[in-house]
Amino acid sequence: QVQLVESGGGLVQPGGSLRLSCVASRSIFSFNAMGWSRLAPGKQRELVASFTNSGVTNYADSVKGRFTISRDSAKNTVYLQMNSLKPEDTAVYYCNAEERWGFNNWGQGTQVTVSS
């Protein structure tokens, strides 16, 4: 079973930036897709950004132009660069890795709080 370990969350003021990291316990190319989702109190889980093994990326409309997903295969790491953060971006952010047979692995989550 793969392990996904997120880090990089914290408290930031509106307009600020954070970079989240997700380290996988095996090669990220072994997965069909990887991505970041978030869960805010009282809201449904939202897929924020993802990419497939073939390199196709997708972003939620709410973060387009502000968030960027990237990867470093040598470090088995996926990043989420978050710029121009807004209070509505406050949530627990989760990394996920989809196996080729469809099963989704999840990390433990990292809290992002955007507040002045």
Average pLDDT over residues 68-87: 97
Report the share of the chain in percent with pLDDT over 70: 100
Distance CA 59, CA 106 (A): 18
* Dihedral sign computed on CA atoms, order 67, 72, 73, 77: negative
Number of Cβ within 10 Å of residue 11's Cβ equals 12
Q: What is the C-alpha separation between 6 and 109, in angstroms, rounded?
A: 6
| Burial status of residue 46 (CB atoms within 10 A of its CB: 0-12, 13-18, 19 or more) | middle
pLDDT per residue over 20-76, tens digit each?
999 999 999 999 999 999 999 999 999 999 999 888 999 999 999 999 999 999 999
